[in-house]
Amino acid sequence: MGKDTIHVRLAGREDLGRVVDIQCEAFERVARELDIEPSLLPPLLETLDDLCALREEGTAFFVAVSGDELIGSVRARQRAGVVEFGRLVVTARFLRRGVATELMRFAEDAFSDAARFELFTGADARGALALYAGLGYTWWRDECERGVRLVWLEKKRADL
């Protein structure tokens, strides 16, 4: 990561507007790269109010910061010992610099009592699939949602 120091922390409500911006930037990039109609990607339809409501309902948002700049985010929700991660995003300027890995490791560590972690990504998202494989996630199941093929991955606490 060179001279840039990356810090990961739990997001506050004041961070969520920037999370929406980064999420839109990242998923617009995904739509272009995978030739998916943007209206088919729910992350592009979420608003600040949506994220605030999720946070109030118990979803945790983690953010990566470089200096004063918020550069990445991931969300997590725990239910019955299982944590589901979602919307792992990093700004274009900080791609492939370890930010996503740091976000995921921090978020996993925040749920020390979880027995299992789950997440999904597009079946054609090679970069994301490689990242998650490197973090120890394995295929669990797949499905098709709104014409987009998704792959669900899991990681059991024993795999950490």
- pTM, full prediction: 0.91
**What are the residues whose beta carbons fall under 8 Å from the beta carbon of 145, sequence distance 6 or more?**
none
Kindly state the tokens that stand for 149. Answer: 């093929």
pLDDT of 1 reads 42
Kindly state the tokens that stand for 152. Answer: 């669900």
pLDDT in tens, 46-72: 999 999 999 999 999 999 999 999 999
Q: What is the DSSP string of 63-119?
A: EEEETTEEEEEEEEEEETTEEEEEEEEE-GGGTTTTHHHHHHHHHHHHTTT-SEEEE
Cα–Cα distance measured from residue 10 to residue 3, given in angstroms and rounded to the nearest whole number = 23
Kindly state the tokens that stand for 51. Answer: 């994220």
**Under-50 pLDDT residues of the chain:** 1-2
pLDDT of 3 reads 54
Across-strand partners of 144? 149
Contact between residue 74 and residue 86 where contact means Cβ atoms under 8 Å apart: yes
pLDDT of 124 reads 86
pLDDT of 109 reads 95
Cα–Cα distance measured from residue 82 to residue 27, given in angstroms and rounded to the nearest whole number = 25
